[in-house]
A and B are shown apart, each in its own frame.
Chain A
């Protein structure tokens, strides 16, 4: 048995306190994000960039006071690029996404994985393009653990003639702990990682308000035209209309979330 000197005890206590603070701090900052949030343009290997949604914590548990309530599903949607909200260096852009990206529209393929949630399916547009997915069911994600929900993204081609040096796609993600209608969204029923664009998923005052996950695509194929200077950063958010339409779970032919 080690005999602890006073100095050693002090240092040990300080280290334990630091680790405790660190764990608390990381827990507080650990939002639902993509495992690889920055990729290169059209860098897909065998057709896909392998990625994942990382669910970092559950909903608020009123019993423990922590974010450790079980998560029973998650819903993920990318911008459709049709009525999306586009900014260029922070300024609104009234043109189309094709001004900056030539091939957006079918961005995601789910990697089948039932290790946490036994059910999963796509969220598609009217042409069959895959804009997102949901996964849920079973006993779900136990409080205190993390989930890695795997998917792939299609290669993105930035318009060569544009001045975009990067294009960042803002996702809408909701981690669900209890199935409710939208009027009962709160920190105990959902964790919403969505852009605040005026949809029913904004959640003002809730834990993840206006703190969405993003996928940044850095220009890496065609050089910037000389007239572009340093280039511009483009951000693409889903519209409120799209989130209200697409961010949902249809199961067995019926919408089960939100109720």
Chain B
């Protein structure tokens, strides 16, 4: 029976395709490895984060970045948020210490924010980004992401 092809054991582990692109999480954290070959200083990740008014009216997007790779001299990761005429940037000052960079926020209301991740020089960097749409009273509103570029 052809449909028995589906009927594998329930414990079958689906193949996880690891291409190095940013993993997308409903928990509003995304992680990946920039410049996995360690040759591209200009490596840039570009995503759109959409803030949606649901439990309240979105006031701002807050985000930070954590470099999870071992420290390397002069190699640091950064994150920028852009919406309309407003922008902000943050850099994780210490790689591999388990701490995020200082948070930055752009007060752009609901809608679509551009988020960039990049680094100072060539070298593979694993990282995690945390991003959250918030109301003026710091309640979390609906937050969605589309990855547009990772190269």
Query: Which residue numbers of A lie inside 8 Å of B, CB to CB?
Result: 42, 44-48, 72-73, 102-106, 109, 117-119, 121, 124, 126-130, 136-138, 140, 154-155, 157, 178-180, 250-253, 256
Confirm or deny: B93 has a beta carbon within 8 angstroms of a beta carbon on chain A.
Answer: no
Q: A42-B52, A44-B144, A72-B2 are in contact. List 4 more A-B contacts (CB 8 A).
A: A105-B147, A119-B8, A137-B3, A256-B6
| B50 touching A42, Cβ below 8 Å | yes
| A127 touching B5, Cβ below 8 Å | no
| B52 touching A155, Cβ below 8 Å | yes
Number of interface residues of B (CB under 8 A): 34
| A109 touching B3, Cβ below 8 Å | no
| B143 touching A47, Cβ below 8 Å | yes
Of B19, B50, B110, chain A has the most CB atoms within 10 Å of the CB of B50
Find B15's partner among A126, A137, A252 (CB 8 Å cutoff): A252
| A126 touching B143, Cβ below 8 Å | no
Give how many A-B residue pairs fall within 8 Å (CB-CB).
Answer: 105
Confirm or deny: B142 has a beta carbon within 8 angstroms of a beta carbon on chain A.
Answer: yes
Chain B residue numbers with a CB within 8 Å of A73 are 3, 6
Find A127's partner among B8, B22, B112 (CB 8 Å cutoff): B22
| B147 touching A129, Cβ below 8 Å | yes
Supposing A126-B21, A155-B52, A253-B15 touch, asked if A103 and B146 sit within 8 A by C-beta, the answer is yes
Find B146's partner among A106, A250, A252 (CB 8 Å cutoff): A106
| A179 touching B50, Cβ below 8 Å | no
Supposing A126-B21, A128-B24, A157-B112 touch, asked if A47 and B7 sit within 8 A by C-beta, the answer is no
A-B contact pairs, 16 of them (CB 8 A): A42-B110, A46-B55, A102-B112, A118-B6, A127-B147, A127-B150, A128-B19, A129-B24, A129-B146, A129-B147, A154-B144, A154-B146, A155-B50, A251-B14, A252-B8, A253-B14
